[in-house]
Amino acid sequence: MSPSDDEEGRQKVTFKLPASLKANLKIRSAELGVDIQDAVADAMRDWEKSSREKAVQIDTAGSSPFATWLTEATTSRFKSECSARGIPYVQGLAQSVTLWLANHPSPRHRPLTRTVRRYVICNQKGGVGKTAVTGGLGGALAEDAELAQLAGGASLDDEQVVELLREHGTPPSDAEYEAPELRVLLVDYDPQGHLTKQLGFKQVPADQPSLAKHMSRQITGDIRDLILPVEHNRFGGRLDLLPSCQDAFLLDVMISTARNRQATLEHALEPLEADYDVILIDCPPSLGMAMDAAIYYGRQRDGEQGESGILIVVQAEDSSADAYGMLVEQIDDGMTDWRIDVNYLGLVVNLYDSRDGHIITSSLEQWIAIGDPRVIGVIPRRKEQREAARTRQPLLAYDPECTQSRVMRQIVKEIL
């Protein structure tokens, strides 16, 4: 840091800051009509007051010089706090700016509907990638628009898939994609807790308050106390998680005696709906009562016109087709029994690789031939999603430019 006094009592101070944070800070300050130097001073002050235990390490690799004007007192307090926390100034400033961006959302953000969109990600067959799709779509829905633009629009790199998608009317790429910057809640509804673990969190212990206990009305506390923020500058404080709980294995039993048991998930999540634009449900591989509750939650409410619904994740192989048939039968039965309408948002074919041969490519053709619901995305089998899960990061935070991330953005464009 190299300060030099100016005429107004502030000093020009040179830090280092990651390029993405620098760009976001510049854009957000302009949007809000705030001087960057004032934004940085506010950011430092708020960060100094924030909890050290909840601070998230920011990747500062490749940071470049960043100059601003601060009072000597502001600079001194900031340096002292960095020393107290045992972190370098670049990390302290990165955390400060990240916090400020989260607390000062873009005025461009507007809820799309007067009711929250509810996306139910499901398939009763395990291993098809529901969790990967849920997490990827959540990240794409919450992603900062400027960063998404830098990462590129949606595209597919498998020529055969692109040709099939073009032939059947689903765009394989979108050069004009603009991230919607929505407030998103990911709900890990699967007792296995893969989404919770892949995002770097722990499942809720069986003896603690949980989504399952709220659904079965065993507790009356505020469900907001369970929410965990997925903190990364790419999502601007707009992405949260409701973690899985170990007692969710007993959920069917817990809600079996409930009156209107199909409405138990809605009863539990309703207090959260005003806080979000989109709620995504990562469903378990099951056709039980918990799935009934998810289907009912994704129904079309009065005044909606297809905003919410069911997104089915499949693979290009025969067993997925069998599971798909059983799931559709359950959805159709639910619509009849409960006198509701459920919108099919589409099919996502996951883990696709044309190099696996004719069975795979012909299965994709069969999925596309269904037509309704239509295929709205084909996610290639690549290493990035596995690597992101191993490093406990959201896909779009781990590699925003990879093909899988770009397809997630394509799917977002299709369902909004």
Question: Which of 277, 328, 349, 343 has its CA nearest to residue 132?
Answer: 349
> Which contiguous run of DSSP H or E holds residue 93?
helix 89-103
pLDDT at 139: 95
3-state secondary structure of 65: strand
DSSP E strand stretches across 143-295: 184-188, 228-229, 239-242, 278-282
Mean pLDDT of each 10-residue bin along the chain, 416 residues long: 52 88 85 90 93 80 89 94 94 92 73 76 86 95 86 53 50 64 95 93 90 88 91 91 87 84 93 94 90 95 89 84 88 95 93 77 82 88 89 92 89 90
d(CA 144, CA 378): 23
Residue 87 burial (CB count, 10 A): 19
Q: Where do the domains of the chain lie?
A: 4-103, 117-415
Query: What is the arrangement of strands in the sheet containing 309-315, beginning at the earlier edge strand?
Result: 228-229, 239-242, 184-188, 278-282, 117-122, 309-315, 344-352, 375-380
72 CB-near residues (< 8 Å, 6+ apart): 3, 9, 11
Tokens of 198: 């892949």
d(CA 402, CA 405): 5
**8-state DSSP, 232:** -
Does domain 117-415 correspond to CATH entry 3.40.50.300?
yes
133 CB-near residues (< 8 Å, 6+ apart): 121, 311, 313, 348, 350, 379, 408, 411
Query: What is the arrangement of strands in the sheet containing 4-5, beginning at the earlier edge strand?
Result: 4-5, 10-17, 64-71
One-letter identity of residue 304? E
pLDDT at 1: 43
CA 3 to chain centre: 40
DSSP E strand stretches across 4-100: 4-5, 10-17, 64-71
Tokens of 139: 């990240």
The structure's pTM equals 0.71
pLDDT at 360: 77
